[in-house]
Structure 1
Amino acid sequence: MPSLQQLTQTPNILAQDYQHAAVGARIMLTGHIHQAMPDCAGLAYQEHWDCLNRYGEERFDQEFEMADKVRAGFAGLIHGAAEDIALAGSVHALFVRFLSSLPLDARPRIITSDAEYPSIARQLVRLAEAGIEVIFEPANPASTLVERLARHVNDKTAAVCASSVNFETGHQSVELDTLMPLCAAKGVELFVDAYHSVNVLSFSVQDYNLQQAFVVGGGAKYCQMGSGLAFMHVPEGRQFRPLVTGWFGAFDPIVDEPATSPLMYGDAGARFHGSSMDMLPVFRANRVFDYFQRQGLDPDFLDDVHHHQLELLSSTFKQFNFNPAVIELSTSLEYMGGFLSFSSPHAKQLCEMMRDRGVHTDFRKQWLRMGPAPYLCDEQLRDAIHALEESVKELPGS
């Protein structure tokens, strides 16, 4: 297991395992969108090709075994149980299955924020157009979001849909652990988008009191597995019957007849399994899980790395005494999730100017966003803020 010091020095000791992505030659501060995959993930492409083309119809045993390993991997990241994990190609696919299990005829109300990720937000807007009452509570300030969401919960509410970290600003939802008991008391399901918490913060369904909540995350961003794979933690011991159901949602889709009426469902997470999907992302995930385990990159250590990197970016930023009318940190560091956001009326322009200097950031609305990754060294993070300082000086009227 590398030490934190080995990750801070130049070169970062992990950078040698990401040579294809050339992480030592570029300053990639878009880790909240996509982190580089370790080189070993490339082995999954040949492995997947062999499985498909060499083993033919016998590939299912290997694919199911691989999927079981990946479910166990995701369960370990959130301190859950592998049998409670359902996989899909996207969070949206899992969200649709979740929605289809809700009694919307008897409880036609869903409560959410106005800053959920588009795969969730767009679907909820469409439900609102179709006559479901969807309450979009302002996401900011994040410090009071959970309290304000809770005020809308009543006997007509089917679900509350919230994020553990605001995907636009990076602000954490404070006191998220208080939401599940309130929902349970009213018979309301809780859906938590934890994509921006998993494998970057010390996020646990136990610590956040979310054992009875639906919790989603995925392989892109902080898990370094690329796109095409998402997971959902399904509450244990509940008899859900999702209306949108695939043939893997039965007990044994190979031996049994999955379409016999009345429909039978598997236990726990299996109830929300889908149908055939491209298994390449699962093969990649298996390789990356193995790599993280070999390196000792567990969520607690990655949380330490993450906090060090955000602290370094923040402290270096403060040294320059930027004009707050031009750019300022959007909130205190303790309330930030997986990335820093800076409030600036010039966010788009600064993002473009920094890219010209070889520093990759991104922006949402008025927020310039910087998301580091474990393979970046301290020198790269300081250079990024220096590039920001140079860019600010070049703004018209500076």
Structure 2
Amino acid sequence: MSHKSHFRRSLEADPERLHFAAHSHHLWPDVSFDAHVQAWLDAARLADRKWEQIFAEIIPRAQGHIARRLGLSDPSTIAFAPNTHELVMRLFSCLPRERPLRVLTTDSEFHSFARQAARLEEDGALEVTRIKAEPHASFTERFAEAASKPGWDMVYLSHVFFNSGYAVPELARIAQGVSNETFFVIDGYHAFGAIPVDLSAIQDRVFYLAGGYKYAMSGEGCCFLHAPPGYGARPRDTGWYAAFGALEDAQAPGAVPYARGGARFLGATFDPSALYRFNAVMDWLDAEQLTPAALHAHVVRLQEQFIEELGKETLPLREHQLVVPLAEKSRGQFLTFESRAAADIHQRLLAANVVTDVRGDRLRFGFAIYHDIEDIGRGVARMCTALG
């Protein structure tokens, strides 16, 4: 399966580049360019009235795409924001202020949550318990046991860990043990669009965060939250868009009104062009029958070929350095090598126009549908020159 022709603009922008960082900044397919232009044209044509079209057509389409990919029965539970940090803060604003919040999470969360939680912890606003993600083989058991204890205000967990690629299995099992009063939040940024996700069994119990920057191929500015009914009815961190469609007669007299569904988590004015891109990419994926399962199967084949080719060379990256081995099926869309030389290898590869990314002593390679087997061979050959 090769879909390079659909990424012509991105690939021709730097023909010599081997972009093995789809897990970081996925290249955009050509349909996103036309969609971005359409957003401009609609703004020129409609001016102030563009928001009527965005809320009546663009947002519902995007909600539908997400609901189908996550197994959600009600697309209206989806709220959008420019980034996940904004949504995390809105979730925190639903919880009590008069005491420190008790939060259970892991030591492997992305910075949008980890940094903010650490800062609030400094001020005594949070009491955070962090479960080690590794060893992965025992993680679900250890985290489920901790999550089942009473008293948590929030349980926050990545579906796929950004620093390893390990995909947490049995999310439903973990959710079943969490108190009904607790906010259970799943960060799905490295899962959405990369691996099959089915939240149907737990959709009324979990929040789910993700966005367009990675495997949704839509770029910045299109993040979303699935907000289950009955949780966080009135976030204190709120923007005026959260009042759209609110039924004031259903609110307490004099109270700030909120919309129903996920719209209660909306903020204020945002750049809607990301939603245009997102819808165009999702429409294209549907037309090509490129499901998350099909995309993942393609990437797994490339990963296996990459490891096979590495094994033929004397490079400072070996299969035994994989944080999540190929044999582990609970794996996301990238490979992570652990090496004290990770930063140096990253820089040397970048100088050879092989794009990867590094997190401390971990080097990540992410393949995508704009790669084929020939790219793997070219990449390894170039790595031999850069690292030999």
Asked if TM exceeds 0.5, the reply is: yes
CA 1:155–1:53 in structure 2 vs 1: closer, same or farther (change >3 Å)?
Answer: same
Give, in whole Å, the separation in 2 of the partners of 1:210 and 1:144: 25
Matched, 1:264 2:253: no
Which of 128, 131, 135 is equivalent to 1:134?
Answer: 128
Pairing partner for 2:46 from 32, 55, 78 = 55
Which residue does the alignment assign to 2:95? Answer: 102
Seen in structure 2, the aligned counterparts of structure 1 residues 102 and 255 have a Cα distance that, compared at 3 Å, is closer
Partner of 1:343: 338
Residues in 1 aligned to 2:24 and 2:362: alpha-carbon distance in whole angstroms: 14
Query: In structure 1, how many angstroms separate the alpha carbons of the residues matched to 2:110 and 2:190?
Result: 11
Please give the alpha-carbon distance, in whole angstroms, between the structure 2 residues aligned to 1:21 and 1:44.
15
Matched residues in 1 for 2:129 and 2:167: separation? 20
Q: Provide closer, same or farther for how the CA distance between residues 103 and 356 of structure 1 changes in structure 2, counting only shifts above 3 A.
A: same
- After TM superposition, the structure 1 stretch with the greater mean CA deviation from structure 2, 152-161 or 33-42, is 152-161
Q: Aligned AA for 2:226? A: H
Give the Cα–Cα distance (whole angstroms) in 2 for the partners of residues 354 and 302 of structure 1: 26
CA contact (8 A) 2:209 2:224 kept: yes
- What's the TM-score, normalizing by structure 2? 0.89
Compute the displacement of 1:263 (Å).
2.8
Match of 1:141, as an amino acid? P
How many percent of aligned residue pairs carry the same amino acid? 27
SS, match of residue 209 in structure 2: strand
Q: Which residue of 1 aligns with 2:191?
A: 197
The answer for the alignment partner of 2:375 in structure 1 is 380
Distance 1:166 1:174, change over 3 A: same
Q: Which amino acid in 2 is paired with 1:339?
A: F
In the TM superposition, what is the alpha-carbon distance from 1:256 to its structure 2 partner?
9.5
Output the CA distance in 1 between the equivalents of 2:27 and 2:237.
34
CA contact (8 A) 1:325 1:344 kept: no
Contact (CA 8 Å) 1:160, 1:189: kept in 2 or not?
yes
Matches within 5 A, 1:236-251: 236-238=229-231, 240-250=233-243
Q: What residue is the counterpart of 2:364 in the other structure?
A: 369
Specify whether residues 68 and 373 from structure 1 end up closer, same or farther in structure 2 by C-alpha distance, changes over 3 A only.
same
Q: Which string of whole-angstrom CA distances, capped at 9 and with x for unpartnered residues, describes residues 199-252 of structure 1?
A: 111122137x45410011101111110111101111135462212122222351
Matched, 1:148 2:137: no
Is this contact kept in 2: 1:327–1:343, CA < 8 A?
no
Structure 2: gaps of 5 or more residues: none
Q: Report the alpha carbon displacement of residue 103 of structure 1 after superposing the two structures with TM.
A: 3.2
May I ask how many residue pairs the two structures share in their alignment? 380
Q: Which residue of 1 aligns with 2:65?
A: 73
| Aligned position for 1:330 | 323
Query: What amino acid is the match of 2:11?
Result: A
Q: Secondary structure in 1 aligned to 2:10? A: coil
Residue 15 in structure 1 maps to residue 8 in structure 2: no
The question of whether the paired residues in 2 share the 8 Å contact of 1:326 and 1:344 is answered with: no
One-letter code of the match for 2:66? F
Kindly tell me: are residues 125 and 357 of structure 1, through their superposed partners in 2, closer, same or farther at Cα, counting changes over 3 Å?
Answer: same
1:182 is displaced (CA, Å) by: 0.9
> How far did 1:106 drift?
6.3
Looking at structure 1, the residues matched to 173 and 116 of structure 2 have their Cα atoms a distance apart, in angstroms, of 26
Question: Which residue is equivalent to 1:357?
Answer: 352
Correspondences of 1:195-344 after superposition (within 5 Å): 195-206=189-200, 209=202, 211-238=204-231, 240-250=233-243, 252=245, 261-320=254-313, 328-333=321-326, 334=328, 335-344=330-339
Q: Give the partner amino acid of 2:279.
A: N
* SS of structure 2 residue aligned to 1:21: helix
Asked if 2 retains the 8 angstrom alpha-carbon contact of 1:200 and 1:302, the reply is yes
Structure 1 spans left out of the alignment, 5+ residues: 8-13, 394-398
- Spell out the pairing of 1:23-62 with structure 2 (5 A cutoff): 25-62=16-53
Q: 1:356 to 1:109 in 2, by over 3 A?
A: same
1:255 Cα offset (Å): 10
Using the size of structure 1 for normalisation, the TM-score is: 0.87
Shift of the 245–311 alpha-carbon distance from structure 1 to 2, 3 Å rule, reads same
Q: Give CA deviations for 1:55-75 in whole Å, capped at 9, x if unaligned.
A: 122212211121111111122
Instruction: Give, in whole Å, the separation in 1 of the partners of 2:173 and 2:100.
Output: 22
* Pairwise CA distance, 1:34: 0.8
TM-aligned CA deviation for residue 76 of structure 1: 1.8
TM-superposed deviation, 1:271: 1.8
Post-superposition Cα deviations, 1:124-145, rounded to whole Å, max 9, x if no partner, equal 1122112121112223223333
Distance 1:322 1:239 in 2: 51
Distance 1:220 1:103, change over 3 A: same
- Alpha-carbon separation, structure 2, partners of 1:210 and 1:31: 28
Distance apart, 1:269 and its partner CA: 1.2
For residues 275 and 387 of structure 1, the distance between their equivalents in structure 2, rounded to whole angstroms, comes to: 47
Shift of 1:181: 0.7
* Paired residue type of 1:27: L
Q: CA RMSD in A?
A: 2.7
Q: Secondary structure at the match of 1:157?
A: coil
Q: 1:157 to 1:317 in 2, by over 3 A?
A: same
- Write out per-residue CA displacement over residues 302-351 of structure 1, whole angstroms, 9 at most, x where no aligned residue: 12212222222233233447667997222222242110011111111111
Structure 1 residues 325 and 276: CA distance shift in structure 2, 3 A? closer
Distance 1:326 1:256 in 2: 63
Distance (Å, rounded) in 1 between the aligned partners of 2:113 and 2:301: 31
Higher deviation after alignment, 224-233 or 302-311: 302-311
